């Protein structure tokens, strides 16, 4: 029977969930996987929190040096979050010759090149399934199960907070501000929700997932980002009437002209599988050249779903010889040979407020025509206070052409663009 000693850094939601799974399932793993996994130490400043979980006081370390020098520890779980002290702790652990399992998407996204270099030097494992999409095994799928494919695209709902907010706004017609407050009360959103609602969390995850999918470094700085803070329930309702659901999507495409990576609110046809992923659930829709379409769906966050991913990495580390590292040159910046498409192509939804005058519509459409934008649908609502809500859907067109058109319309005096949302139909 192989014995595996584990240490956990941080006993918050994720660390606490991981400890619970490891202790409650110890006999199950022993019987079914042939490994005896024991938690030999934890590093937690709040000693009362650790003891409340049933951890013996003798196993509560005072500093990272105690973890690194403990010969009973083989694998260290980092569930602190943020950059520091997590980064320093992980580097210290790897330099001590122990493998690391992390749920820290920001740390891995920004510094995987440094962490992997040290892991290779010391022949240690570096595992990060829990960094993306909670309990959904998307990273293992990309690393092991879909290796026979050239991944051409991945599209995902990879942030549970924003998906919960948009789902509630759609169901109830409530404002973003009201639903955010509700999400914070329920624990779905942090007191400072910036990372989630402004799209940073999704950007970090997309950087990791697209790098693995396309076998080249995709730095988070190359990803177009737009959050949900300006989403108006009016547009969600118009979208529903047109047969669309609004989601914060992470989109990655790898084509002949380069890589396209973006995070933004998106209308997606209601019959698409991602359109029916609601509340705090996550999903990733992957297209490979051989397998075609695959969707992975499940809880994107939480103590036990994320703990499940961490424990899966621990067992994988314990039952596999050697360590798998990046299939690409993992550097801080992208490979100079990698091309990124900034002026991407999409369909667009625009809501305009226009003056209720004869000839205004022709003036508006002339701006679209000037930039070669083909309009697929126009919906004109009833006038209110001399202004007419006008909904325009376009065929596929370039991002920069839409932005030029919007700037011209806003400067024209005959229309104000109140909303612009990209569309996947």
Query: From first to last of its 425 residues, what are the pLDDT tens digits of the chain?
Result: 799 999 999 999 999 999 999 999 999 999 999 999 999 999 999 999 999 999 999 999 999 999 999 999 999 999 999 999 999 999 999 999 999 999 999 999 999 999 999 999 999 999 999 999 999 999 999 999 999 999 999 999 999 999 999 999 999 889 999 999 998 988 888 899 999 999 999 999 999 999 999 999 999 999 999 999 999 999 999 999 999 999 999 999 999 999 999 999 999 999 999 999 999 899 999 999 999 999 999 998 889 999 999 999 999 999 998 888 999 999 999 999 999 999 999 999 999 998 877 788 889 999 999 999 999 999 987 777 778 899 999 999 999 999 999 999 999 888 999 999 999 98
**17 and 64 co-located in one domain:** yes
DSSP 142: I
Cβ within 8 Å of residue 325, ≥6 positions away: 116, 119, 120, 126
2-9 and 75-78 beta bridge pairing: parallel
Distance CA 31, CA 18 (A): 19
| 329: exposed, middle or buried (Cβ count in 10 Å: 0-12, 13-18, 19+) | exposed
**271 and 356 co-located in one domain:** no
Of 274, 397, 363, the C-alpha closest to 420 is: 397
Asked which of 131, 150, 177 is the last residue of a domain, the reply is 131
Distance CA 7, CA 21 (A): 14
**181 and 266 co-located in one domain:** yes
310 in a structural domain: no
> Residue 286 in contact with residue 296, Cβ under 8 Å?
yes
- Count of structural domains within the chain: 3
> Residue 70 in contact with residue 41, Cβ under 8 Å?
yes
- The pLDDT tens digits of the residues spanning 137-185 come to 999 999 999 999 999 999 999 999 999 999 999 998 899 999 999 989 8
56 in a structural domain: yes
Distance CA 113, CA 269 (A): 38
Helices first, then strands: H and E counts in the chain: 15, 17
pLDDT at 264: 98
**Catalytic-role residue among 98, 168, 205, 253:** 205
Q: Is the dihedral of CA 275, 278, 280, 285 positive or negative?
A: negative
What phi, psi does 7 have (nearest 5°)? -120, 145
> Residue 251 in contact with residue 260, Cβ under 8 Å?
yes
**151 and 288 co-located in one domain:** yes
Distance CA 3, CA 222 (A): 43
**248 and 169 co-located in one domain:** yes
**8 and 40 co-located in one domain:** yes
Q: Which CATH number fits the domain that encloses residue 70?
A: 3.40.50.720
**For tokens 């010391």, what's the residue?**
122
317 in a structural domain: no
**Domain residue limits at 110:** 2-131
Distance CA 340, CA 209 (A): 16
**127 and 179 co-located in one domain:** no
**123 and 149 co-located in one domain:** no
Is 120 one of the annotated active-site residues of the chain? Answer: no
145 in a structural domain: yes
Q: How far is CA 373 from the centre of its chain?
A: 31
Asked which of 83, 111, 131 is the last residue of a domain, the reply is 131
Asked which of 98, 131, 164 is the last residue of a domain, the reply is 131
Distance CA 253, CA 177 (A): 32
314 in a structural domain: no
**113 and 8 co-located in one domain:** yes
pLDDT at 425: 84
Distance CA 354, CA 336 (A): 46
224-225 and 244-255 beta bridge pairing: unpaired
**164 and 254 co-located in one domain:** yes
Of 139, 126, 135, 64, the C-alpha closest to 314 is: 126
> Residue 404 in contact with residue 420, Cβ under 8 Å?
no
**103 and 181 co-located in one domain:** no
- As a three-state string, the secondary structure of 14-68 is HHHHHHHHHHHCHHHHHHHHCEEEEEEEEECCCHHHHHHCCCCHHHEECCHHHHH
**127 and 196 co-located in one domain:** no
Kindly report the pTM of this predicted structure.
0.95
Instruction: Tell me the Ramachandran region of residue 187: left when phi exceeds 0, alpha when psi lies from -120 to 50, beta otherwise.
Output: left
> Residue 364 in contact with residue 354, Cβ under 8 Å?
yes
Of 53, 51, 58, the C-alpha closest to 24 is: 53
């Amino acid at each position: 029977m192989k014995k595996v000693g584990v240490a956990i850094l941080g006993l918050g939601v994720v660390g606490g969930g991981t400890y619970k799974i490891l202790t409650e399932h110890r006999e199950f793993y022993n019987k079914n996987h042939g490994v005896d996994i024991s938690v030999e130490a934890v590093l937690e400043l709040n000693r009362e929190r650790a003891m409340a979980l049933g951890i013996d006081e003798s196993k509560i370390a005072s500093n990272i040096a105690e973890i690194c020098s403990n010969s009973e520890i083989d694998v260290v779980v980092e569930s602190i979050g943020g950059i520091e002290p997590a980064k320093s702790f992980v580097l210290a652990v790897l330099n001590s010759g122990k493998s690391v399992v992390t749920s820290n998407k920001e740390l891995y996204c920004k510094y995987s090149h440094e962490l992997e270099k040290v892991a290779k030097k010391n022949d240690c494992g570096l595992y990060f399934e829990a960094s993306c999409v909670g309990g959904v095994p998307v990273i293992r799928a990309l690393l092991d199960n879909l290796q026979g494919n050239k991944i051409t695209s991945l599209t995902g709902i990879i942030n549970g907070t924003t998906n919960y907010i948009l789902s509630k706004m759609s169901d109830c017609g409530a404002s973003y501000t009201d639903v955010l407050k509700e999400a914070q009360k329920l624990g779905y959103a942090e007191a400072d929700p910036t990372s989630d609602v402004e799209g940073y969390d999704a950007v970090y995850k997309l950087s990791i997932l697209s790098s693995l999918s396309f076998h080249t470094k995709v730095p988070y700085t190359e990803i177009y980002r737009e959050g949900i803070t300006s989403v108006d329930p009016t547009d969600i309702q118009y979208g529903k009437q047109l047969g669309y659901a609004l989601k914060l999507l992470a989109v990655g495409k790898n084509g002949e002209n380069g890589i396209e990576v973006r995070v933004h609110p998106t209308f997606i046809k209601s019959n698409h599988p991602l359109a029916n992923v609601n509340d705090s659930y996550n999903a990733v829709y992957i297209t490979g050249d051989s397998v075609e379409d695959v969707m992975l769906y499940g809880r994107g966050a939480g103590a036990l779903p994320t703990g499940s991913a961490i424990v899966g990495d621990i067992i994988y580390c314990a039952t596999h010889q050697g360590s798998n590292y990046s299939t690409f040159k993992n550097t801080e910046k992208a490979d100079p040979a990698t091309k990124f498409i900034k002026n991407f192509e999409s369909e667009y939804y625009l809501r305009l407020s226009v003056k209720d005058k004869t000839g205004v519509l022709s003036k508006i459409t002339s701006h679209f025509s000037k930039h070669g934008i083909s309009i697929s649908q126009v919906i004109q609502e009833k006038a209110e206070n001399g202004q007419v809500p006008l909904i325009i859907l376009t065929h596929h067109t370039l991002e920069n052409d839409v932005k030029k058109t919007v700037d011209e319309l806003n400067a024209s005096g005959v229309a104000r663009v109140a909303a612009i949302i990209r569309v996947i139909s």
